[in-house]
Amino acid sequence: MIETIFPFALGNEKKVEKLIDHPVAMVNHMVFPKDHGLPEHYSNSNVYMIVVRGTLTIQLDDQEAHEYPAGNILTIPYHVKMNVGNSHDEVLELFVIKAPAPSHYKEEPAADNR
């Protein structure tokens, strides 16, 4: 078999799972019921968020929060403050691709340098 299979969880329960951790890219799968999400953090790579179900609520740096329904892909540059979550009744499901993988970055830049 040439291909590699990476199964991911199905369902509506909160889930954050790392599917692929390769130097070229990291792929995570996330499921968030209403009022769940990630702790505030800085992007540790170039981030691509693929919303496959529900509506993503995201606030980046000092911007107002924005909402993106299923069928959208967001790109977020390296070292941007992020608040990611679900403020809607429908379950949010997304895939997060980081390219290059965070291990590519040797150290975090100063807060004011991107």
Is residue 107 very low, low, confident or very high in pLDDT (cuts 50, 70, 90)? low
Instruction: Give the structural domain span for 82.
Output: 38-103
Domain annotation covers residue 109: no
Which pLDDT value is given to residue 102? 84
Mean per-residue pLDDT, 68-79 = 97
For residue range 1-56, what is the model confidence (pLDDT) as tens digits?
999 999 999 999 999 999 999 989 999 999 999 999 999 999 999 999 999 999 99
3-class SS letters over the chain: CCCCCCCCCCCCCCEEEEEEECCCCEEEEEEECCCEECCCEECCCCEEEEEEECEEEEEECCCCCEEEECCEEEEECCCCEEEEEECCCCCEEEEEEECCCHHHCCCCCCCCCC
Whether 60 is in a domain gets the answer yes
Domain CATH number, residue 96 = 2.60.120.10
Domain count, the chain: 1
Answer yes or no: is 71 within a domain.
yes
In a domain, 79, yes or no: yes
Q: How many CB atoms lie within 10 A of CB 68?
A: 17
Q: In this predicted structure, what is the pLDDT of residue 111?
A: 55
Q: How many CB atoms lie within 10 A of CB 97?
A: 19
What pTM did the predictor assign? 0.87
What integer best gives the mean pLDDT of the chain? 93
30 in a structural domain: no
- By the 10 Å C-beta count (0-12 exposed, 13-18 middle, 19+ buried), 40 is classed as exposed
The pLDDT, as a whole number, for residue 101 is 79
Residue 23 dihedral angles phi and psi, to the nearest 5°: -55, -30
- Is residue 97, in this structure, part of any structural domain at all? yes
Residue 28 tokens read as: 């995570």
User: What does the pLDDT average to over 74-92?
Assistant: 97
pLDDT, residue 110, reads: 58
